[in-house]
DNA sequence: ACACAACCTGACCAACCGGTCAACAAATTT
DNA sequence: AAATTTGTTGACCGGTTGGTCAGGTTGTGT
């Protein structure tokens, strides 16, 4: 069991400050891009003097890197439900649910990730070439197995994965567009549920799993 | 018929300079984002002195706006094939083809557009609320008609459109990621064809049109 | 050939940015 | 409670950026 760790005043303050800075940075980087974001703006949003940011994160790049790593972790773990699933309906269905939830809960992080990749992944190229490549290979193998077992139509696992990523992330990255087309209002709980169902239905039927 | 308009030296030079600047700007904005792009970099890439850029485009914002408008036009016209189609197989199939071609031919423009929307559409919000809203309404009606005519399963037209946008644009916006997962090489002609087929097959089957 | 307008550009500037630092405050250790 | 480590911050700096402008060049109409 986890002990109720006693945090010294210092450690507690450090923890909170880092969290506040990271949260502010995530939002500012998402809304302004790396180049458009300023340390001053992040500092103001975090309620700290700019010099204090540089005490916790030496450079703008270092802070940005931490923000990207954070969302990448969440992104990867979304596929936990993918494994050990008996078939595509459960596995891919749960994956869509998880990724749609991420899009709703972490829209800023999703945008930062999208922005990073769009600009050629200057700071996380190594992750793409190692962690993400392995991850993708593993899931593609699972999908291929389902195909071989006749649990779904023969589709290219890669392109199916791209479609899953694209569709689920779209609700975060292009959330503003969707909101505008929704009469300027964010999707309601019911509309989010409908979105999830639509995506799941079309894709699962599209791969011949239902 | 279009007359072979005689361009004076001036008009010809103006045309070429503007085109060169816009092409350079599209690339730089796509790779560095609006905030990260510099007029100097665009000028260097266009092979013109920076001051000359400001002669043609007064401000960075004005130049950026032109770039965004340009890709928006292409984006809208991609759906010409959508209309007058007898059913979803032809209409949506052609639309997917057209949008995939755009992703391949105009990856920079696609990224600029994505970036603009992701950042809350600061310069083209009015377009979203007028042109895009009308456009979307029109296509959604067409899809609904096909549903009513029994030519496809009853799916929410909006979410289908989002899925089409997301999936096709993904190949441009996340092209770097796809390239990395493809062994660091861009998709070949054959792979692009396979991508198109995969997308069309999954979606058309997903909406019960085939 | 002349006059006028359009075009071009090196040099320049004020504003802003990321990052530094010295001086100070607070917590922790001894 | 003294000493030491850790955290805090206003003021500052060199470098870069978007944008300006005066003075020159080129093309066009007359």
The DSSP element (H or E) to which B147 belongs, if any, is helix B133-148
B183: phi then psi, degrees, rounded to nearest 5: 80, 20
Q: Give the per-residue pLDDT at A8.
A: 79
CATH architecture for the domain at A9-58? Orthogonal Bundle (1.10)
Separation between Cα atoms, residue A97 and residue A83, nearest integer Å: 14
| Per-residue pLDDT reduced to its tens digit, B148-178 | 999 999 999 999 999 999 999 999 999 999 9
Size of interface A-B (CB pairs under 8 A): 175
B31-81, pLDDT tens digit by residue? 999 999 999 999 999 999 999 999 999 999 999 999 999 999 999 999 888
* Residue A95 pLDDT greater than 90, yes or no: yes
Q: Look-up: residue for tokens 């899931």?
A: A139
- A-chain residues near B109 (CB < 8 A): none
CB B181 within 8 A of CB A140: no
The nearest alpha carbon in chain A to B133 belongs to: A181
Residue B9 pLDDT grade (very low, low, confident, very high; cuts 50, 70, 90): confident
User: With contact defined as beta carbons under 8 Å apart, do A75 and A68 qualify?
Assistant: no
pLDDT tens track for B93-142: 999 999 999 999 999 999 999 999 999 999 999 999 999 999 999 999 99
CA distance B67 to A49: 37
pLDDT recorded at residue A204: 98
The rounded distance, in Å, linking the Cα atoms of A184 and B17 is: 39
Cα–Cα distance, A122 to A126 (Å, whole number): 9
- Structure confidence at residue B2 as a pLDDT band (50, 70, 90): very low
- Measured from Cα to the C1' atom, the residue closest to C20 is A51
**Chain A residues within 8 A of B194 when measuring between CB atoms:** 156, 159
Query: What pLDDT does residue A4 have?
Result: 45
Instruction: Report CA(A65)–C1'(C20) in Å, whole number.
Output: 22
Residue A10 has a pLDDT of 82
Nearest residue in chain A measured CA to CA from B27: A119
Q: Is A38 left (phi over 0), alpha (psi -120 to 50) or beta?
A: beta
CB contact at 8 A, A194 and B159 = yes
Q: How far away is chain B from the Cα of A111, in angstroms, using its nearest Cα?
A: 7
Cβ atoms of A30 and A109 closer than 8 Å: yes
CB B30 within 8 A of CB A33: no
The correct answer on CATH 3.40.640.10 for the domain covering B68-206 is: no
Q: What is the pLDDT of residues A189-209, one digit of tens each?
A: 999 999 999 999 999 999 999
Question: Among A60, A68, A177, A208, which would you mutate to test the B interface (most chain B Cβ atoms within 10 Å of its Cβ)?
Answer: A177
Do A32 and B32 contact (CB within 8 A), yes or no?
no
Alpha carbon distance A109, A114 (integer Å): 9
**How far: A26 CA to C1 C1' (Å)?**
67
Q: ∠ CA B78-A204-B208 to the nearest 5 degrees?
A: 60
On whether the CB atoms of residues B104 and B175 are closer than 8 A, the answer is no
pLDDT confidence of A27, banded at 50, 70, 90? very high
Q: Min CA distance, A135 vs chain B (Å)?
A: 10
Whether B10 has a pLDDT exceeding 90, the answer reads no
Contacts of A36 in chain B (CB under 8 A): 33-36, 119
Tell if B188 CB is < 7 Å from nucleic strand D: no
What are the extents of the domains in chain B? Answer: 9-58, 68-206
The answer to whether strand D lies under 7 Å from the CB of residue B139 is no
* Best residue of A30, A116, A159, A196 to probe chain B, by most B CBs closer than 10 Å: A159
């Amino acid at each position: 069991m986890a002990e109720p760790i006693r945090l010294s005043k210092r450690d507690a303050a450090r923890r909170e400050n880092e969290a506040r800075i990271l949260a502010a940075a995530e939002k500012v980087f998402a809304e302004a891009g790396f180049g458009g974001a300023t340390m001053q703006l992040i500092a103001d949003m975090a309620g700290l003097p700019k010099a204090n940011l540089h005490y916790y994160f030496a450079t703008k790049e270092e802070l940005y890197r931490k923000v990207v790593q954070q969302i990448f972790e969440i992104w990867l773990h979304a596929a936990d439900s993918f494994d050990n699933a008996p078939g595509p309906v459960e596995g891919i269905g749960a994956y869509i649910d998880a990724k749609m939830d991420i899009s709703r809960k972490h829209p800023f992080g999703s945008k930062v990730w999208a922005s990073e990749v769009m600009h050629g992944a200057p700071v996380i190229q190594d992750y793409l070439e190692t962690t993400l490549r392995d991850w993708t290979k593993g899931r593609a193998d699972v999908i291929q197995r389902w195909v071989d077992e006749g649990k779904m139509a023969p589709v290219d696992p890669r392109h199916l994965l791209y479609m899953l990523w694209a569709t689920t992330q779209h609700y975060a990255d292009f959330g503003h567009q969707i909101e505008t087309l929704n009469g300027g209002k964010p999707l309601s709980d019911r509309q989010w549920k409908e979105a999830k169902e639509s995506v799941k239905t079309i894709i699962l039927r599209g791969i011949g799993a239902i």
